[in-house]
Amino acid sequence: MSTRAWTWVHKWSSLVCTAFMLLLCLTGLPLIFHEEIEHLPGAVEAAPMPEGTPEASMDRIAQAARERRPDDVIRYMFWDPEEHPNLTYVSMASRVDAPPDENNAVVVDSRTAQVLDEPRTNEGFMYVMLKLHVDMFAGLPGMLFLGFMGLLMVVAIVSGVVLYYPFMRRLRFGALRTRRSARIRWLDWHNLLGIVTVVWLTVVGITGSINTLDRIILAIWQQDQMAEMTAPYKGLPPVTRPAHLQKSIEAARAAAPDMAVRLVAFPGTAFSSPHHYTFFLKGGTPVTSRLLKPALVDAQTGVLTASRDMPWYVKTLFLSQPLHFGDYGGLPLKILWTLLDLAAIVVLGSGLYLWLRKPRAAPVPGAEAEPDAEPDAELAPVAAVEAKT
């Protein structure tokens, strides 16, 4: 491709997605620190108790949640011992097949089976930031749209890198022409920050696009492996008197003693079947702690019926999620992610500024721009070379 063709690709891929990438950068900043924000004063935590205090039966915990919300049914229970030790989160709704957004949460102390809180999960600052970042309050269409914007960002990055060398070949790397016009100064900062963060921007853009496919990927898993594991129960009536939850969770733990249960989907929910509890387990290594392994337990007998590793496409999704938000390396990596995100915001904003302030006069055909001269209007929006996140 010619330089002019690459310029056209870069310009339009950048301009189309810049506003949406700015939205994702801005909303992504607080989401990087969502765990720390959840621990701010006022957040519910389990009361201190002697180390080794045994956990209550899962049946007692489930019963406590049902007593608090007698008109609802339990759909999911999950645990996060690293961030919220000794707490069981119970997700309830008016019926087992209610829409995914219907979530009445109950927080229970895992040792005493005492209800501690009923947090509202569909309101507040972090909820708004998450919804804007994930789907702009537009559901699956919004997610897929943002995924497409992420792919356009990757196109802008690649085309911007192609244009970077011919544009900067007569300038020192990182040169900032501080005595030139404001537009030239912003162009230099745009190019410098863009090329320095190009790898990070590419990784975040690709993983973000993968994350927007999570509903589709999980639906494929349900139609594939989940359907295979539950095939023997096809056509049987749903379970009306489920087995004890504690007995079922012990059967799941016995199948993978080196893993820990992190979530259980109750019979009839999207991630189970009308005949099973589905327990999702995590390992203890840096990699396996990011993956989930399902274990299906017959909801009537409490006997394990199937368990297998997730397919490669689901593992890819699980591994891309922590990489996107930088939450696999503790606070230092989150700070680095924040600095890179701020740099991306500058690249995006400067790219938009350069486009709005592009020179009116057209360059002489075939003329080569001097390194200290006003850049060609088509090359100036080296706009978003890497301007997206």
Residue 280 CB-density burial (10 A; 0-12 exposed, 13-18 middle, 19+ buried): buried
Please indicate, yes or no, if residue 94 is contained in any of the structural domains.
Answer: yes
DSSP states of 30-57: HHHTHHHHHTSTT---PPP--TTPPPPP
Q: Rounded to the nearest 10 degrees, what angle do helices 330-356 and 198-211 cross at? A: 100
Q: Which tens digits make up the pLDDT trace of 207-252?
A: 999 999 999 999 999 999 999 999 999 889 888 888 899 999 999 9
Q: Is residue 90 part of a domain?
A: yes
Q: Is 123 left (phi over 0), alpha (psi -120 to 50) or beta?
A: beta
Range 315-319 average pLDDT: 92
> CA 96, 34, 349, 367: dihedral to nearest 10 degrees?
-90
Q: Give domain status of residue 19, yes or no.
A: no
Q: Kindly state whether residue 198 falls inside one of the protein's structural domains.
A: no
The answer as to whether 239 is a domain residue is no
pLDDT (tens digit, 9 = 90+) per residue, 34-49?
888 877 766 788 889 9
Position 379 in a domain: no
Q: Kindly give the interhelix angle for 198-211 and 139-168, rounded to the nearest 10 degrees.
A: 160
Radius of gyration of the chain (CA): 26
Beta carbons within 10 angstroms of residue 374's beta carbon: 17
Could you report the per-residue pLDDT of 168-187, keeping only the tens digit for each? 666 666 667 777 777 788 88
Question: Does 381 or 80 have the greater pLDDT score?
Answer: 80
Range of the domain at 86: 45-118
Residue 15 lies in a domain: no
Angle between helices 312-325 and 214-221 (to 10 degrees): 150
How many structural domains are present in the chain? 1
57 in a domain, yes or no?
Answer: yes
Task: Single out the residue of 96, 53, 61 nearest to residue 245, CA to CA.
Answer: 61
pLDDT of residue 147: 95
Q: Which residues pair with 264 in a beta bridge?
A: 77, 279
